[in-house]
């Protein structure tokens, strides 16, 4: 792999607004075989809603100036809707948030042509390694064996399942990971 040519860059919400078309392109490429739920219109709406959240952060990966992947997320506020649709049982207090407890990873995407080269691991490490929250969470499809294997190797574990309320939403596995602050 050409990790020596890999460039990771952090973006704030304002800075990332200039990248929206490129972010959508990577998303559509990464989900090209995943069905009609993964479409331009829905993802633009999701991205617009997420980028406006307090603490939203993006790390983008480029090789020779071309965007090949990214990770983004945000801290969960006390009134978050992230946990709506979580399936019991979960430990008491699991879904209680205060804006500092949990960082939600919404997307970790790498273009298929660039997968299995360490880019997702680099993006993950760059984002999670700089967070101050106690834990991180993300949702992954139960049938995504490659993602499950990667996340487990990076210290994530299953906590529950969740089915979002949006139309056509699949059921996801909820993964969590403690964030170790150096």
What is the topology classification, in CATH, of domain 3-178? Answer: Aminopeptidase (3.40.630)
Q: Which two tokens stand for residue 118?
A: 């360490």
**pLDDT, mean over the chain:** 92
- Measured in whole angstroms, the distance separating CA 40 from the mean position of its chain's CA atoms is 17
Q: What is the pLDDT of residue 182?
A: 55
- Pairwise CA distance, residues 152 & 99, whole Å: 25
At residue 165 the predicted structure's pLDDT band, cuts being 50, 70 and 90, is confident
| pLDDT tens digit sequence for 109-133 | 999 999 999 999 999 999 999 899 9
Average pLDDT over residues 29-55: 89
Beta carbons within 8 Å of 128's beta carbon, 6+ residues apart: 103, 105, 136, 154, 177, 179
Q: In the 8-state DSSP scheme, what is residue 166?
A: S
Rg (CA), the chain: 16
- Pairwise CA distance, residues 107 & 140, whole Å: 10
Instruction: Decide the pairing of beta strands 135-140 and 102-110.
Output: parallel
């Amino acid at each position: 792999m050409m990790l020596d040519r890999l460039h990771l860059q952090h973006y704030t919400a304002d800075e990332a607004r200039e990248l929206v078309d490129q972010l959508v392109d990577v998303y559509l490429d990464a989900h090209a075989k995943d069905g009609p739920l993964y479409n331009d219109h829905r993802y633009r709406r999701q991205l617009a809603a997420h980028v406006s959240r307090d603490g939203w952060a993006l790390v983008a990966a480029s090789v020779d100036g071309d965007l090949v992947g990214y990770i983004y997320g945000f801290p969960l506020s006390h009134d978050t809707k992230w946990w709506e649709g979580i399936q019991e049982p979960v430990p008491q207090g699991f879904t209680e948030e205060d804006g500092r407890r949990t960082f939600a990873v919404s997307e970790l995407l790498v273009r298929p042509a660039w997968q299995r080269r360490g880019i997702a691991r680099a993006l993950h490490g760059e984002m999670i390694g700089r967070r101050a929250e106690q834990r991180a969470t993300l949702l992954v499809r139960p049938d995504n064996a490659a993602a499950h294997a990667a996340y487990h190797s990076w210290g994530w574990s299953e906590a529950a399942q969740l089915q979002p309320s949006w139309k056509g939403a699949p059921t996801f596995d909820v993964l969590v990971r403690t964030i170790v602050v150096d």
